[in-house]
Chains A and B, each alone.
Chain A
Amino acid sequence: MSRLFSLLLVTALALALAFLALPVLALFLRVPPAELIRQLGEERAREALIVSLTTSLVAHLVILAVGTPAAYLLATRAFRGRALVVSLLELPLVLPPAVAGLGLLAAFGRSGLLGEELSALGVEIPFTQLAVVLAICFVASPFYLRAAIAAFEAVDPALLGAARTLGAGPERVFSRIALPLALGGLGAGSTLAFARGLGEFGATIMFAGSLPGTTQTAPLAIYDALDEDFEVALALGALLVVISVAILLVAKLLASWTRSPSTSTIRFAPSGSR
C-alpha cells in the first residue's frame, strides 16, 4: 500500500516535470545556438528586445520608487481600512490581462476618465511607449508590493523602536535599519515583478498596441512573427527563456541571502568571555 503510494507520488512529479520542461526544451531543440545569435541580429528582433528592456526597466524603476515607501507604510502602520487598501493593490494579480488593458484604456484613453484632462495638457498615452510602461506597472507592481510588505513586516518592530530611542528620526530608521534588513525580500519581489513585466502581453496589446520599434515588446513580436517567420519567433522565445532563467536564479539567490548571517543566528555561548 505504502509502495503504491510512493509510486503515485513519483509518477505525479515525473508528469509535472515532463509537462513543464518539455516546451522549454523544445524551443532550444528547434533553435541551434548559432541560429539564435543570427536571428538576434535581425532588425525586428533587436527592436523588440530594446523596446522590451527599456520599458521594463523604466517601469521597474517606477515600481521600486513608489512601491517601496508605500509597502513600508502598510507594513509599519495600523490604520482603519488597511486590509481594503492591500486588497485593492493586489487586485491586478487576479485581473485577466485583457481586462487590465481595457481598464487602462477606460482610464487614460482619449475618451477615458482622464482623457480630457490629459489631452488638455497635450498628453496622449494610448499606443505610445508610455502606455507600455503603464501596462507593465499595472500588472507587475502587485508582485513587488506583496513581497515588499512581507519583507518589511518581517523586520522586528523592536529594532525600529530601538533606533528611534537612539536618536534616529523616521527617515534614518527607514534607510539605516528597515531598508537594509528587508533588502533580501525586496530583491526577491523585485525580480519576480521584473519577470512578470517582461512577459506582459494582454494589457500591453490592448492599451499600447503592437507597433514595431515603439510599442512592440518581445512577447508581442513573438506573436506577430508566428504567422510569417516561425524561426524568428522561436529565437526570440528562446532568448526570453534565457532571461527568465537568469531572473529566477537571481530571485532564488536573493531569497537565500535573506536567511543568511545578516539576520540573527542566535548562538548560545556559556558565559561572558573576557
Chain B
Amino acid sequence: MDTLTVDLDHPLRSFRLEVGLELGRETLALVGPSGAGKSSVLRAIAGLLRPERGRVELGRERWLDTERGVDVPPERRSVGLVFQDYALFPHLSVRGNVAFGGRGRVDELLERFRISHLAAARPGELSGGERQRVALARALAREPAVLLLDEPLSALDAHTRGVVRGELAELLEGLRLPTLLVTHDFEDAAALADRIGVTAGGRILQLGSAGELLAAPADAFVAGFTGANLLPGTARAGRDGLTEVALDAGGTAATTDAGRGRVGLAVYPWEISLARVAPTDSTLNHVRGEVRSLVPLGNRVRVRLGPLTAEVTAASAERLALAEGDLLVASFKATAARLVPLG
C-alpha cells in the first residue's frame, strides 16, 4: 500500500505554510477558512508550486525533496487534481477533455460519470454538476495514484451540491485512493472524508475523524469552525465535582470538563433543547432568551436565541409554535458542554 507523505514549509503572503501529512487509502479533508493555505498544499503535491522547503513522497517514489534537489515535474507525478472551478479546456469537447488525460478508458469513464450523451459538447454548454463530473472523469483518465480535490463542491448551487456530495462520497468510497480534499465547509468535509484536518494560518490545528473533532475540539477555533456555540467565561471548581463557568454574557453554566480561568464553553446546536418553561429533567444548564431568528433547513430548524444557536426538528418547532420574539428556555446537559482554551 502506497502512503503519501507530505512535509511542507513555504512562506505565503501573511504567514508560513507548515504542514505535515501522511495518508494511506483514505480520504483526508483539509478544512479551514479561505486563505488558510489549503490550496497551496494541493499545488505543492501536484508539482505546480515549489515550496521553499519540503518533501513529497508516494511510497518509495520521491516527488520532491528540496534538500536533495529533487523536483519531479507535474506531468511525471501520478496525481489527479480537480481544480476549484474545474479548469476544463474550453476549446475541447467533453470527450477531448477526458481523453487529454489518457485515451485508454475514455468511453468507460464517460459511461461511469453519465456524460456519454455530452461527449461532443463544449464545457461552456454544461451545468455545474456536469462540469464537475467531466473534471473527475478527466482526472481519473490518467489512472492516478493520488487524487487531489480543490473545493470540489463550492462551484455548485445549493440544490446540486447536496446531490453531488452524495455521489462524490460514493465515488471516493469505491476508488480507495489516497485522496486529499480541501474545503471551507465542515459539513462537506464530514460527509466526504475519513479524517479531517482543521487548518488556519497555514497550520493544521487538529486532525481527527469528524466524531473526534466534535467530541473534543482542541481549541476555540476548531470548536467554532465545527459549528459549536462558543461562550467565553471564567471557570472555577463548582459543586458535585463539576466545573462552573461564569459566562461573560451573564449567568453560569456547569460542565463535566475540568478547567480553570479564562475558557470557552462549546456547545453544539443539536445538543440544545428548547422549551417554553424550564424543564425539570436531568439538564443542568438553562439559558433564557428571546428568539431572534428561525431558519428552516429541510427537516430541521436553526433557532437563534440570545447568545446561542440551537437546532431542533421541524416537527418540534411546529409543536412549540415557535415565532420570532418568543421567550424560551434553552437547555443543555453538563456532559454536552466542552471546555476549550480561547485562541
Spell out A's residues near B (CB within 8 Å).
156, 158-159, 161-169, 176-177, 180-181, 261-274
Contacts and interface: CB of A to CB of B under 8 A. Distances in A.
B83 interface: yes
A273 B90 contact: no
Contacts of A176: 100
Nearest to B114: A274
Given A264-B90, A271-B163, A272-B160, A165 B46 contact: yes
A264 B124 CA distance: 5
A264 B142 CA distance: 24
B48 A177 contact: no
B90 A263 contact: yes
Interface stretch (B16-24, B71-79, B173-181): B71-79
Contacts of B157: 268, 270-271
Contacts of A180: 91
Interface string B114-132: 1000000011111111100
A262 B91 contact: yes
Q: Quick one: which of B43, B48, B77, B90 has the most chain A CB within 10 A?
A: B90
A152 to B, nearest CB: 14
Interface of B: 43, 46-48, 73-75, 77, 79-81, 83, 85, 87-91, 100-102, 114, 122-130, 133, 138-139, 141-142, 157, 159-160, 163-164
A273 B116 CA distance: 12
Contacts of B80: 165
Nearest to B118: A273
Contact of B83 (A162, A167, A168, A269): A162
Contacts, number: 102
B164 A181 contact: no
A165 B79 contact: yes
Given A165-B79, A273-B130, A156 B87 contact: yes
7 nearest CB pairs, A to B: A272-B129, A269-B127, A164-B74, A162-B87, A166-B101, A158-B87, A264-B90
A161 B142 contact: no
A257 B157 CA distance: 31
Counting chain A CB atoms within 10 Å of each CB, which of B48, B74, B77, B83 scores highest? B74
25 contacts: A159-B90, A162-B81, A162-B89, A163-B89, A164-B47, A165-B79, A165-B81, A166-B101, A166-B139, A166-B141, A166-B142, A168-B100, A176-B100, A264-B88, A264-B90, A265-B124, A267-B127, A269-B130, A270-B160, A271-B127, A271-B157, A271-B159, A272-B127, A272-B128, A272-B130
A165 B100 contact: no
B89 A159 contact: yes
A271 B167 CA distance: 13
Nearest to B102: A167
B13 to A, nearest CB: 16
Contacts of A271: 127, 129, 157, 159-160, 163
Nearest to A269: B127
